[in-house]
Amino acid sequence: MRAQLARVDAVLVQAVIAAALSFAHLHDVASAAGQDGWKAWAYPVSVDLLLVAAWRRLRTGDAKAAGWCWFVIALVASLGANVATAGLLDPDQVPAWLRILVAGWPAVAFLGGTLLAHSAPAPREDTEDQEDAPEAVPELPAQPTSEPTPAPSAVSVPAALVEHARKVAAEHQTRTGAAIDTPTLRARLGVPAPMADAIAAQL
């Protein structure tokens, strides 16, 4: 545990020293390019914050092309300022192109930070698939099928019974003057209703 803490502390100390040196070099370049006072101290902050914003975008996994673009721009600005302070830049005779770059850096850093912070993340594929998928249509309950009603079976009537029924019908018509109806025929013959209907159909 102590060894791990010692390694972490060493890394933090090294990072703080490197950040302080880079911060000072950026300040010196900005000051030599004509940015005095608080403005010279603001330049290192803008460069380092753009680096952090670009690195964070690379870690999230969204819009990596934009993240790499602004990370390289901020890295070139930081690395260029650090190299320029190694005796390559005369503070008393700063070239005009460097003054232009330093003066235009705030606009570039503002644009990069805004795009990195407010660019919309790419939509996920599973969300698109869900939006494109058709809505499921609820299945309607199956209608109960009614069983067909069996047709009444034909009633077989003996010929003798039909002949007797004709005599009864003739007697009824002679006595009443009207044709015999099925209920009366059924009562006279003493047969079930289906058989009475079958006999009446044959009269």
pLDDT score of 121 more than 60: no
Tokens of 109: 């850093």
How does pLDDT run across 82-95, given as a tens digit for each residue?
888 877 777 778 88
SS3 category, 93:
coil
* Mean local confidence (pLDDT), 149-170: 72
Nearest Cα to Cα of residue 113 among 33, 50, 184 = 50
Radius of gyration of the chain (CA): 53
Asked whether 66 and 116 are in contact (CB, 8 A), the reply is yes
pLDDT score of 124 more than 60: no
Which DSSP helix (H) or strand (E) runs through 122? none
Query: What share of the chain in percent tops pLDDT 70?
Result: 76
